[in-house]
Structures are given as structure tokens and as C-alpha cells.
Chains A and B, each alone.
Chain A
Amino acid sequence: MSTAALQEPWAKSDNPAAPIPVHQKMSRDDLIMRIALCVLAAWLVIAVLLPLGALLIKSFEGPDGGFVGVSNFALFFANPSLTQSISNSLSIAIVSTVICVLLSFVFAYGLMRTCMPGRGIFKLISQVPLLAPSLLPAISLVYLFGNQGFAKSMMLGQSIYGPIGIGIGEVFWTFPHALIIMITALSTSDARLYEAASALKASAWRTFWTVTIPGARYGLISATFVVFTLVVTDFGVPKVIGGQFNVLATDIYKQVIGQQNFRMGAVVGLLLLLPAVFSFAVDQWVQRKQSAAMSSRAVAYEPKPDAFVDTAFLVICGLIAAAILTVIFTALFASLATLWPYNLTPSFKNYDFDNMDGGGWQSFFNSLRMAGFTAVFGTAIIFSGAYLMEKTKGFGAGRFVFQFLALLPLAVPGIVLGLGYIFFFNSPANPFNFIYGTTTILVVCSIAHFYSVAHLTAVTALKQIDQEIETVSSSLRVPFYRTFFLVTLPVSLPAVLDIAMYLFVNALTTVSAVVFIYSPQTTLASIAVLNMDDAGDVAPAAAMAMTIFFAATAVRVVYTGLVRGVLGRTQAWRHR
């Protein structure tokens, strides 16, 4: 080539009437894939969209089923105790969010931007709250600062039952969620900016405000909204430790379970949908901005040792980690004490669930079964769905609709989804009514509830595989499902395991979505915690929460072992 001017800029056609392509016969593969994608989309419609629709309709229904316009909403806003819950929910959420985002930012900074020792251990500890239902921190707080708590004096006369307890419990429970976002935000910053700043002799303080904070701003925004939504819609913590302090999430529970006032429950449910939908929109916006800001030339930042900074962060992160462990160990001690606080002799008396209300050990086994089914079927459905969405040729509209349905659960709090399930599946007119009260509905609900994150994990993994593999296979006249099972699935095994583990642990610990749809035959461990606590059996509730915690931890350990061992060998090609 003699001249450099040969790279012709390729202008777009200025002919607006684009010609239509030749019609090609659909191959058998294409047809099967489209049908399969439609079936999975229909599944999502039934599991997510229609229950939400049922909730919406319910909120506009009168006592005898007719349309009454906004009169339910008018009733709600006319009730001062319910509107009080709005301001309670908002104020708790704002305070918890500020504290949680600050703590998680500091913790993530310590992990990503300093050379403090023990970063691996700290990261591990930070994820511990994910392994327990949100009821667990609340129970621990009762033991620590409640009426008979051993650190009650630290409360300086304030009561833990109410906003203070809710706030601390929520910060504990939402911390790992915020931390993951902050770690991502801090890991994407560009080292060159820091080099430029130090070349300009900017002070560390100035660099922090002009480089670090702007670099992490999308993470800060995203974490703020995620935590806010989690707190507003969480029901476990305020249920246990809220006392007389009512919030929206507990109101739904009281309206629906206590007073059987489904319409008012639906109204509150719709209100809870607002922050979730808003936060979802913000998150989508942030994702776009963040990926645009991450130029491919960005150089990863390597922290340099600094005795003062490293020590300071060691102290702060150490305190946070200690607080997390204190909460867990308090629940453990309480569950093992024969009769707190009078007889602290260790015993397994509180683990004798069969002699207590709440469903006994059976509820724990129900939970394991339910979580197992959720992991197995959920992984199969979600991974297949992501595969079909990514690989189906043409069919743009179908794939777009599917993507929308797959991301929709991200904007639906568990408690709202569960409520929608009552309205939708409990209706005798619904042909799926027969699953009401069975394990199946719990599994369906859990898969739907945790669909989006797992879906995104699958899509990311699929995008990392060479896109031409499918093309080559079809040119070799190999049916797509064969390539799916022989190539795509084995190659994506790490993501598949990751999804299965995520679904299992979340199904095991969730309370909010399933609290409305379990039946006496299908009580779950997390529900048992709730009911035992309600009945005043706080120590057995702690014991059950710890049982869940140990089961979730065991699954994580097995998962880590699998990833390190089996995958280490079979996925060797990844590291080259």
C-alpha cells in the first residue's frame, strides 16, 4: 500500500427507503430457538409481569371487586398512621443509606487503594452478611442492646427497638451489596490520572477530591440508590426490631397477614415499587456512563505502601469487620446458650426445633429443597434464556422483549413480588392456581425474584465466548443444541456454578418474597425464624438463623472448592 489515505470513511446511505432483504427460509435451528425463547418469555410473563399486573388491578379494586379508581389510595393517604410510615421509611432509609455508603466506600478504598494487610480476609468477612436472612442482624441486636442485652448500657438509655435498631440492622445487611458496587467503581479508575496528579504535585487530599471521588461517582450514585431501595423494601429487620416504629414494608405485612386487607397491601406495594423502579432507571443510566468512562486504554491503579494510610485503614476496616463478626457471633452464642441471660451453659436446646412452633427441622429441610430446586431449575432456565437471547438469529423484537422481561425483576422488591403472587395465583380463575401453597410456587417466585442478576451474569459469560463458534457449528451442520451442550455449557461452567450458588444462597435466606406464599406444609427456615421470633422464641429463632447461615456457608465453601479444584483443571485454557 503506498498511501495512507486509503481508509475510506464509509458514509451511511442517504437513501431513506431501505430495501428489504430477501426472505430466507428459517432453518430448523432458528425455528426451535425462537419457539424456545418465546416459551421462556411466556414463563417470565407468568412469573413476573402478570403478578405485577394483578397487584396493580387489586390496588384499584373496591371491596366487592369493582373498579373504584384511586379511592384506595385516597383511603391510604387519609390514614395518618399509614402516612406516618412513609416518613418513617424515608427517614430510616436516608440515614441508613448515608452511613452504609460511607462505610462501604471507606472499606472498598482500603481494599482497592491501600496496601493494608489482610485485604483478602477483610473481603471475605465483608460478604458474611449475605449468608444470613436480614432477620439475623436484628436478632443479634436484640441480644446485644435489647432489654436483656449485655451491651445495653452502650445505648445510653435509648431503646434499640425502633429506628436505631432498624438503622444498624439495615446497614449491616446492605453493607455487602454497597461494597460490591464500590469495589467495582474503585477498580475501574485510571492510574494515569493519579500519575498526572502527582506530576502536578497535587496534595493527597486534593487528589482524593479531584480524581478519586469523580472517578467513583457513578459507583457512589449507584450504591446510594441500591441501598436506599433495599432498606425501604426490607421487611426482616423492622419486623424483628422495629417495635412500635412502623415502616411501609411491615405495614404491607400487617395489612395483608394481620388484617387480610389485600387492597391496602396492594396500595403500599405499589408505593414500594416507586423507589425500586427509580433506582433501576438510575442504575441503567449509571451502567451506560460507567462503561463509556472506562476507556480501553485505562491503566489499572497499583497502590503503593504508605505506613500511615495503611495503618489507618487497617484500624477502620478492622473495626467494621469486627462489628460484622460481633453480630454473627452474638447470634451464635445466643443460640447456644441454654437460657439467655440466666444460664449461659452451652447446649443445643435451642436447635431442638421439632419441639417448637415454626415448622421444626422440617422447615429447614423444606428450605434446602426449595433452594436446591431454585438453583437447579433457575440455573437451567436463566442460562438457557440468556443463551437464546444472545444467539437467536434475527428476531430483534422477541429478543428485546425478552431482555426487558429478564431485567424487570431487578425493579421489583421481593415483598411486592410476593404480594403479586397472592393476587395472581390465588385467584381461582387462574389455571395455575393449583401451584398455590406448594413448593413449586416458592421455587417459581424465588427464580423470578433473583432472575436479573443471574441473567446478567450469564449474558456476560456468553459474550466472552467467541461469537463465531455458533456460526462455525451451523456451517458444519451441527444442530445448535448439540453445540450448546458440548461447547457453550462446558465453557461457561464457572458462570453456571456462580449462578447456581447465587440462587441457592438467596433462596435460602430470602424472607420478603416468600412470606406471603408459603403454606403450613411448605414453611421455610427463614419464615420459621420470623415466626419463632414473633412468638417470643428469640433464641430458637437465632438458632434457626444460624442454621441457615451454616448451610449457606457450606454451599459457598463447596462452590469455592469446585472453582479452585475441578474448574482449575478443566478451565485451564482460560489462563493462557
Chain B
Amino acid sequence: MNTTQGVTVRVENCAKTFADGTRALDPVTLDVARGETLVFLGPSGCGKTTMLRIIAGLEKPDSGGRVLFNAQDVTRIPIERRNVGMVFQSYALFPNMNVAQNIAYSLALRGAGKAERDSRVAELVALTGIEGLENRNIDQLSGGQRQRVALARAVAMRPSVLLLDEPLTALDAALRERLRGELDRLLRTLGITTIYVTHDQSEAMTLGDRIVVMRKGAIAQVGSPRDIYFKPASRFVAEFIGAANIIDAVSDNGVLVLPGGRLAVDKTGHGQVAAMIRPESIGIISPEAAFLVGRVASVSFTGDRQRLVVDGASDKPLIVDASNTLAVKIGDTVGLTVAPSAIQFLQGA
């Protein structure tokens, strides 16, 4: 099972207008590589589930749209013949069957003998780490275990594409964080082309080979987690992914002119710009040595670091993540420093 399996997926010019006139998707074109995990990320109602359902064959795109698996047009083929595995937020496990029966549900039909079925179930149970739970009823499982049963059931038939719609959202935060890592390992072991929908950016960062950030039914940016984080294409992406300071200022031949001083940037020419700086890219130094100073308006200690809000340096308060050992208190005047390479200029909005 360690080999890369699955298909390439191409979504071509797929828009979706529901019968009631709701425009859920603008025309979208996208390619997913074989074995890749692609994550759709965006706020509620932006069309992620609709996108997933179009790929699954549960929703038909507006005319002109196409879905291709391995360059074969599957747009007109219903879900039963697309060979996709699905996992939903609710898991939709069969409540009247035990774990093994759930996992083997689709195997019984494929002419698989009992021995073959049992060995496949054993293999999947081991893979998903739920050994020993085979005979448990669904109501005797924890949320995380249910999620793994749903995944095992979905991959039992060796689908070409695995589609997951917010599979961790129903779980509490701590469990979600732990399962994120496990799920990532599992998806990599499976090697199936995977399309994953979430509105949680850390989930998207951990799991995605690439992330598609969506906004109002359109793609805002496609890229690797690092690209999305460090080089957001727009204000929307910058603000949606992690914490971001977005500074509207005048850039004058390599210098940003700010109320609290100046910042050196990699940008020539003169004009109004929007610059994005991540809170952890801002260093705190002594005000005497700094070109940019501000006053600490708040300090919140979170254990691993402390988050400061600094007034007066920029047009709006700056969020700064400082080391947890830094001695600083409200009212202190601090100097700020940012490497020019950590300043990202946003286009458009």
C-alpha cells in the first residue's frame, strides 16, 4: 500500500448555480496530481463542499464545466461509477453495525470471500490504528475512533480519489490537533489522491501538499502551505491564514514611512502600498537602537510565547509575537525591527 495510487484530477471551468439562483461557485479550473493531498480552505459558505460534491459526482457543474479523472471525462458519470471514497463530518457510520461490518460493508458485494474480507478488514484496522475494536458497536467508540472507522470504510474499496469534508470538525480542539498528525501520516501511507475540505487553517497547513484558499465561490490563491503563509496573494488570504499585520503606507525608494519611524524594504520606486508582516517576523529591540518605535498597549502570555500589541508604530496597532522570556510590560516604549525579506507586498485589495 505504500505506492502512490489514485488518479490525477482535473476540474475544468466548473461553476455552480443552484436551482434557487444561488451562485455557489464561479468557474474554477484546477489540477490535482496523482497521490497529492489538496486542501480546500475557506470561510463558511465559500463553496468548498460544493466543489467537493462536484468532484464526487453528487452535484452537477453548470454547463461548460468538466471533471476529469486521469484525463478521462467523468462529468456525466454518477457517483456510483466514479470510484471515490468519502468521509463526512458526521461520519455517517451505520449505527446498527459494528466496526468490522461497517468497514466490510462494500466488500461483501464485490464477490470477495469471507477470508478475503476478513484479511482486508484486518489490514485496514491495523492501518488506521483501531485494532481490537472490530466488534465494538459504533456508539461505543470515541469521536476519533469513529473518524478512523469512517476512513477505513472509505478506503476499503481502494478508491481512485479520497474526498473528505471536514472530517475533524466534529471533534474537540485537543483531539483535532492530535488526529491531524495521525491523519497526515495515514494519508501519506495510503498515497491516494486526496481532496480535503476544511475551514481550519492549521489543519490545511499540516495536511495539504497544496492549499486552495477559497473566497465567495472563487479561488483566492493556490499554493504550498509555505507559499500561502509567507507569500499571500491578497489581503484576504493574508488575514485568513494566521495572524497578519497589514500596513497601508507610502513606500519611498526602499523605505516604508510610518508614524513611528521607518522600515527598510526590498522595493524601489514611490507609491502607496499594502505590506504584510507576520507577528513572529517582528523583533523587539531597544528603542535607542531602532528606526521604528512604539508603545506596548497589551501583553498576553500564552506559555510558548507572548503576544504584544504595539501602538504608535504603524497606522494601526501592530501584533508582535515575542519570546516568552522577554521582560516587557504595558506602557513600555519598544523598538521594532523587521527583515526586509519578511515584508510581503499585497496586490490589489
Establish whether residues B78 and A1, one from each chain, have CB atoms under 8 Å apart when the complex forms. Answer: no
Q: Is A431 among interface residues, defined by CB-CB distance under 8 A? A: no
User: What separation, in Å, do the CA atoms of A472 and B82 have in the docked complex?
Assistant: 13
Q: Which residues of chain B in 91-113 are interfacial with respect to chain A, using CB atoms and an 8 Å cutoff?
A: 92, 94-97, 105-106, 109
Question: Beta-carbon contacts of A1-22 to B below 8 Å, as 1s and 0s?
Answer: 1110011101011011011111
Establish whether residues B76 and A8, one from each chain, have CB atoms under 8 Å apart when the complex forms. Answer: no
Residues of B within 8 A of A8 (CB): 43, 45-46, 215-216
B319 to chain A, nearest CB (A): 7
Q: Is B280 among interface residues, defined by CB-CB distance under 8 A? A: no
A298 to chain B, nearest CB (A): 24
Residues of B within 8 A of A259 (CB): none
Residues of B within 8 A of A29 (CB): 80
Q: Which residues of chain B in 224-276 are interfacial with respect to chain A, using CB atoms and an 8 Å cutoff?
A: 236, 239-240, 242-244
Residues of B within 8 A of A12 (CB): 21-23
Partner-contacting stretch, out of B54-62, B183-191, B333-341 = B54-62
Establish whether residues A25 and B84, one from each chain, have CB atoms under 8 Å apart when the complex forms. Answer: no
B170 to chain A, nearest CB (A): 12
Establish whether residues A476 and B244, one from each chain, have CB atoms under 8 Å apart when the complex forms. Answer: no
User: What separation, in Å, do the CA atoms of A7 and B215 have in the docked complex?
Assistant: 10
Which single member of B109, B137, B153 contacts A477 (CB below 8 Å)? B109
B49 to chain A, nearest CB (A): 11
A13 to chain B, nearest CB (A): 4
Residues of A within 8 A of B139 (CB): 572-573, 576
Q: Is A471 among interface residues, defined by CB-CB distance under 8 A? A: yes
Residue in chain A with minimal CB distance to B23: A13
Q: Is B90 among interface residues, defined by CB-CB distance under 8 A? A: yes
User: What separation, in Å, do the CA atoms of A506 and B179 have in the docked complex?
Assistant: 53
Known contacts A24-B60, A25-B76; A18 and B21 CB within 8 A of each other: yes
Q: Which residues of chain A in 192-222 are interfacial with respect to chain B, using CB atoms and an 8 Å cutoff?
A: none
Question: Beta-carbon contacts of B62-104 to A below 8 Å, as 1s and 0s?
Answer: 1111100000000111111111111010101011110000000
Known contacts A6-B239, A21-B62, A573-B138; A472 and B153 CB within 8 A of each other: yes
Question: Beta-carbon contacts of A28-55 to B below 8 Å, as 1s and 0s?
Answer: 1110000000000000000000000000
Which single member of B17, B22, B76, B153 contacts A23 (CB below 8 Å)? B76
Establish whether residues B61 and A472, one from each chain, have CB atoms under 8 Å apart when the complex forms. Answer: no
Residue in chain B with minimal CB distance to A575: B139
Q: Is A64 among interface residues, defined by CB-CB distance under 8 A? A: no
User: What separation, in Å, do the CA atoms of A474 and B79 have in the docked complex?
Assistant: 7
User: What separation, in Å, do the CA atoms of A406 and B97 have in the docked complex?
Assistant: 32
Which single member of A2, A15, A24, A570 contacts B57 (CB below 8 Å)? A24
Q: Is B29 among interface residues, defined by CB-CB distance under 8 A? A: no
Most chain A C-beta atoms within 10 Å of own C-beta, residue among B19, B105, B157:
B105
**How many A-B contacts at CB < 8 Å in the complex?**
152
User: What separation, in Å, do the CA atoms of A2 and B239 have in the docked complex?
Assistant: 6
Residues of B within 8 A of A491 (CB): 94-96
Which single member of B60, B88, B153, B216 contacts A21 (CB below 8 Å)? B60
Q: Is B286 among interface residues, defined by CB-CB distance under 8 A? A: no
Q: Is the interface of B mostly helix, strand, loop or mixed?
A: loop
Q: Which residues of chain A in 472-493 are interfacial with respect to chain B, using CB atoms and an 8 Å cutoff?
A: 472-479, 482, 486-487, 490-491
Which single member of B85, B106, B137 contacts A572 (CB below 8 Å)? B137
Q: Is A74 among interface residues, defined by CB-CB distance under 8 A? A: no
Which single member of A10, A13, A474 contacts B17 (CB below 8 Å)? A13
Residues of A within 8 A of B81 (CB): 27, 477
Known contacts A478-B109, A491-B96; A471 and B86 CB within 8 A of each other: yes
Residues of A within 8 A of B243 (CB): 1-2
Residues of A within 8 A of B65 (CB): 22
Q: Is A26 among interface residues, defined by CB-CB distance under 8 A? A: yes
Which single member of B22, B46, B92, B137 contacts A469 (CB below 8 Å)? B92
Establish whether residues B105 and A21, one from each chain, have CB atoms under 8 Å apart when the complex forms. Answer: no
Residue in chain A with minimal CB distance to B88: A468
Establish whether residues A24 and B75, one from each chain, have CB atoms under 8 Å apart when the complex forms. Answer: yes
User: What separation, in Å, do the CA atoms of A514 and B92 have in the docked complex?
Assistant: 44
User: What separation, in Å, do the CA atoms of A6 and B242 have in the docked complex?
Assistant: 12
Establish whether residues B239 and A22, one from each chain, have CB atoms under 8 Å apart when the complex forms. Answer: no
Residues of B within 8 A of A469 (CB): 92, 94
Establish whether residues A477 and B43, one from each chain, have CB atoms under 8 Å apart when the complex forms. Answer: no
Establish whether residues B79 and A2, one from each chain, have CB atoms under 8 Å apart when the complex forms. Answer: no
Residues of A within 8 A of B21 (CB): 12-13, 16, 18
Other A-B pairs beyond A27-B79, A477-B80, 14, CB < 8 Å: A1-B240, A2-B319, A6-B239, A7-B44, A8-B46, A8-B215, A8-B216, A20-B63, A26-B78, A27-B80, A27-B81, A477-B106, A572-B137, A573-B139
Chain A to chain B contacts (Cβ below 8 Å), 11 pairs: A2-B319, A10-B216, A18-B17, A21-B16, A22-B66, A26-B78, A468-B86, A472-B154, A475-B154, A476-B153, A477-B81
